[in-house]
Structure 1
Amino acid sequence: MNKQLEQPIPQGKYLPALRHADVVYTSGMTPRKAGELMYSGKIKSGAPIESHREAVRLSTLNALAAATSCLKEGEHLSAVLQLNVFLNTEPDFILHPAVADYASELLIEKLGPGSIGSRAAIGVASLPSDATAEISLIAKVR
Structure 2
Amino acid sequence: MSGKFETRLAELGVSLPDAAAPAANYVPFVIVGNMVHVSGQLPAADGNMVLGKLGADLDVDAGAAAAKRCAINLLAQVKVACGGDLDRLERVVKLVGFVNSTPDFEDQPKVINGASDFMVEALGDTGRHARSAVSAAALPFGVAVEIEGLFQIRP
Q: Smaller-chain TM-score range?
A: 0.7 to 0.9
Point out 4+ residue stretches in structure 1 off by more than 6 angstroms: none
Equivalenced residues, count? 141
User: Secondary structure, in 3 states, of the residue corresponding to 1:69?
Assistant: helix
Separation in structure 2 between the aligned mates of residue 137 and residue 114 of structure 1, nearest angstrom: 14
Q: What are structure 2's unaligned runs of at least 5 residues?
A: 10-14
Of 100, 114, 120 in structure 2, the residue corresponding to residue 102 of structure 1 is: 114
Q: Which residue of 2 aligns with 1:42?
A: 53
RMSD value, Cα: 2.2
Q: Which residue of 1 aligns with 2:12?
A: none
Which structure shows the bigger proportion of residues in helix conformation? 2
Normalising to structure 1: TM-score of the pair? 0.88
Q: Counterparts in 2 of 1:1-142, with a 5 A limit?
A: 1-2=5-6, 5-6=16-17, 7-33=19-45, 36-44=47-55, 48-72=59-83, 75-113=87-125, 115-142=127-154
Separation in structure 2 between the aligned mates of residue 41 and residue 16 of structure 1, nearest angstrom: 24
Asked whether the equivalents of residues 54 and 101 of structure 2 are also in contact (C-alpha less than 8 Å), the reply is yes
**Offset of 1:65 from its aligned partner?**
0.7
The letter for the 1-side match of 2:61 is E
Asked whether the equivalents of residues 52 and 58 of structure 2 are also in contact (C-alpha less than 8 Å), the reply is no
Percent identity, aligned pairs only?
27
User: Secondary structure, in 3 states, of the residue corresponding to 1:112?
Assistant: helix
Asked whether the equivalents of residues 87 and 122 of structure 1 are also in contact (C-alpha less than 8 Å), the reply is yes
Q: What are structure 1's unaligned runs of at least 5 residues?
A: none
Deviations 1:85-121 (A, max 9, x none): 1100000000111111111011112221363221000
The letter for the 2-side match of 1:54 is A
